Amino acid sequence: METEHEPAPPPPPAPEPEPAAAAVPPHEPDAASTLKLYAKLAALLFFVGYSIAFIVGNDKTISVDFVFATARVSLIWTILLLLVVGLAGGALGSQLYRHRRSKQRSQP
């Protein structure tokens, strides 16, 4: 008994190669974007230099009198601590103001 085998289906045709993409010329920055880059770089260098000068100029040791103790700390740390305390106080005050204002608007 012989069985007939069906021929195997032909393999799918190979995809046609895509045409090569046109070579994109490299992006050449215009004068305005180059000027912006140099301005940002100059601003960054200014702030880094200013920060270094600020730290060096405020390296004196001062005596800080807390209510229960006195400590001798560098002036720069005192300035930075007061900056953080002021930012935190401002953020909390802003939240309190926003909360009170939304409460007033919800009441008739």
Q: What SS3 state is found at 70?
A: strand
* Best CA proximity match to 60, nearest among 71, 75, 50: 75
Q: Could you give the CA distance from residue 56 to residue 50 in angstroms, rounded to a whole number?
A: 10
Task: Compute φ and ψ for 42, nearest 5 degrees.
Answer: -65, -40
Q: Indicate the average pLDDT of the chain.
A: 82
pLDDT in tens, 80-102: 889 999 999 999 999 988 888 77
pTM of the model: 0.49
Burial of 18 by CB count in 10 Å (0-12 exposed, 13-18 middle, 19+ buried)?
A: exposed
Give me the phi and psi of 31, to 5 degrees please: -65, -35
Task: Give the domain ranges of the chain.
Answer: 43-106
